[in-house]
Amino acid sequence: MNICCIGAGYVGGPTMAMIAKKCPNISVNVVDINEERIKAWQSDDLPIYEPGLYDVVKESLNRNLFFSTDIDSAIDNADIIFVSVNTPTKTFGEGAGRASDLQYWELCARRIKEVSKSDKIIVEKSTLPVRTAEAMERVLHSDKSDIHFEVLSNPEFLAEGSAVEDLENPDRVLIGGHDTDSGQRAVNVIVDIYANWIPKNKILTSNVWSSELSKLTANAFLAQRVSSINTISALCEATEADVTEVSHAIGTDSRIGSKFLKASIGFGGSCFKKDILNLVYLCETYGLNEVANYWQQVVEINDYQQVRFVRQIIQRMFNTIAGKKILILGFAFKANTGDTRESPAIKICRELYAEKAEIVISDPKALDNAKKDLIDLENIKYEQDPYKASKEADAIAVLTDWNEYKDLDYKKIYDGMRKPAFIFDGRNFLDHNFLFNIGYEVYSIGKGHQSHLD
Ligand code: UDX
Ligand code: ADP
Average pLDDT for 408-437: 98
**Is there a contact between 243 and 236 (Cβ–Cβ < 8 Å)?**
yes
CA distances in angstroms from 34 to 31, 71, 102, listed in the order given: 9, 11, 18
> Which residues have a catalytic role annotated?
271
In the predicted structure, residue 99 carries a pLDDT above the cut 90: no
In the predicted structure, residue 131 carries a pLDDT above the cut 90: no
Mutate to test the pocket of ligand 2, among 32, 48, 49, 275 (most ligand atoms within 8 A of CB): 32
Query: How many beta carbons lie within 10 A of that of residue 248, not counting itself?
Result: 12
Average pLDDT for 260-277: 96
Instruction: Look at residue 454 in the predicted model and tell me its pLDDT.
Output: 79
In the predicted structure, residue 65 carries a pLDDT above the cut 80: yes
Q: How far apart are CA 143 and CA 164, in angstroms?
A: 40
Atom of ligand 1 nearest to the CA of 268: 23
Query: Which protein residue's CA is at the shortest distance from atom 16 of ligand 1?
Result: 159
CATH 3.40.50.720, the chain: domain bounds? 2-206, 208-454
Instruction: Look at residue 108 in the predicted model and tell me its pLDDT.
Output: 94
Q: Specify the fold of 208-454.
A: Rossmann fold (3.40.50)
Average pLDDT for 391-397: 98
In the predicted structure, residue 144 carries a pLDDT above the cut 80: no
Q: Is 47 in the pocket of ligand 2 (CB under 6 A)?
A: no
The CATH architecture to which 2-206 belongs is 3-Layer(aba) Sandwich (3.40)
**Is there a contact between 108 and 85 (Cβ–Cβ < 8 Å)?**
yes
In the predicted structure, residue 202 carries a pLDDT above the cut 80: yes
At residue 101 the predicted structure's pLDDT band, cuts being 50, 70 and 90, is confident
The 3 state secondary structure assigned to 7-37 is CCCCCHHHHHHHHHHHCCCCEEEEECCCHHH
In the predicted structure, residue 55 carries a pLDDT above the cut 80: yes
Q: N- to C-terminal Cα distance for the chain?
A: 70
Average pLDDT score, the chain: 95
Q: Is 271 in the pocket of ligand 2 (CB under 6 A)?
A: no
**Is there a contact between 52 and 237 (Cβ–Cβ < 8 Å)?**
no
Average pLDDT for 67-74: 97
User: Picking from 97-101, 201-205, 391-395, which range would have the lowest pLDDT averaged per residue?
Assistant: 97-101
At residue 49 the predicted structure's pLDDT band, cuts being 50, 70 and 90, is confident
HSE (CB half, 13 Å, CA atoms) of 314?
A: 18
Mutate to test the pocket of ligand 2, among 5, 33, 70, 127 (most ligand atoms within 8 A of CB): 33
H or E stretch covering 150: strand 149-153
**CA 429 to ligand 2 center in whole angstroms:** 34
Atom of ligand 2 nearest to the CA of 107: 23
Q: Is 301 in the pocket of ligand 1 (CB under 6 A)?
A: no
Q: Is 103 in the pocket of ligand 2 (CB under 6 A)?
A: no
Phi (first) and psi of residue 100, to 5 degrees: -75, 140
In the predicted structure, residue 17 carries a pLDDT above the cut 90: yes
**Is there a contact between 292 and 216 (Cβ–Cβ < 8 Å)?**
no
Atom of ligand 2 nearest to the CA of 11: 4
Instruction: Look at residue 288 in the predicted model and tell me its pLDDT.
Output: 98
Mutate to test the pocket of ligand 2, among 39, 85, 100, 124 (most ligand atoms within 8 A of CB): 85
The model's pLDDT over 273-325, given as tens digits with 9 standing for 90+, comes to: 999 999 999 999 999 999 999 999 999 999 999 999 999 999 999 999 999 99
Average pLDDT for 14-36: 98
Atom of ligand 1 nearest to the CA of 335: 25
Instruction: Look at residue 153 in the predicted model and tell me its pLDDT.
Output: 95
Percentage with pLDDT > 90 across the chain? 88
Ligand nearest to the CA of 274: 1
Hey, is 442 helix, strand or coil? strand
In the predicted structure, residue 371 carries a pLDDT above the cut 90: yes
